[in-house]
Structure 1
């Protein structure tokens, strides 16, 4: 048993950008490796199935842009698009509304039980979305954060959640990155040092504190 800092846990799983734009090699504009994509999908399916049977809400955050102008407002992203050797070189045509990359990967989403927030446009899932409203509606105080990329959207959302006084748990095998593996490791180190708990998905599912929450 661990003390995660809340008296009565009300948890939710937050799946970040588990969509085809990162994880389906046939359509991805900013792909992770096929091996990473397969592993992340498999681990998230198992974790989310457990969450549903444990009455823990599952919330999917999906990046979608109306047009490239919404992307190009970000100064740093413009520099990535200008570099043909950068993994984010396709950022200006990533997950525009109507593209297949905006679809959640098969097997991850349960339309009968899950929530979807598909207005995400920046790394931090709280920016310009109604995620906080949804969490408050369901009295959530503990976030189990999964998805990609560990060193951008996951890290940014974790730091924001910590600053907003949510307890945070990151299942290390349910997150990964399209970038170098060292950045995945560095992001997890930052998280467990100052922002939240990092453990395997098996460890998460065995936590007594999350049984019958």
Structure 2
């Protein structure tokens, strides 16, 4: 029987934001095949460097790992969007520095995940739902650089990719600008369940529940 473990941040550990509704791990449990199990090791606020601590608690019978991480690293680096720049090239160079640091941290995180020897899926970072349209647009544009890192690493390592940008594509999918609502969690749970129903791991993309 499958035992899926959710690692990462509040994309999975969203119980504090759904006002008594089911959190993502409960939604995953509800749609797993008979006998399937789900364990939540993700922690609200976690960054990429926190994943080894989560992995230290990995159940011995875990069969699949799903990771949604990097959003808080992006949030920590978001001050670069307000930094003055003398040219477009200078602004892009500043974003490239953020991307390069993110790539290094993301690769280290994936090395730790894959060292556990279980099939793994990784999630993109969804576009935040900031109330200010201009801020939302700029943040989404900047995140394309980090999501490029995630998708490249997924395909280079033959990992399954769950594209949260396409899954959570409506305002109703969010409890606040950066946390999934019950509706968004239902979509995420559906994609995880669909992943577990597929017989062959690796090089798969899930972008709908």
Question: Do these two structures clear the TM 0.5 threshold for a shared fold by scoring above it?
Answer: no
**Structure with the largest fraction of helix:** 2
Higher relative contact order (CA 8 A, sep 6+): 1
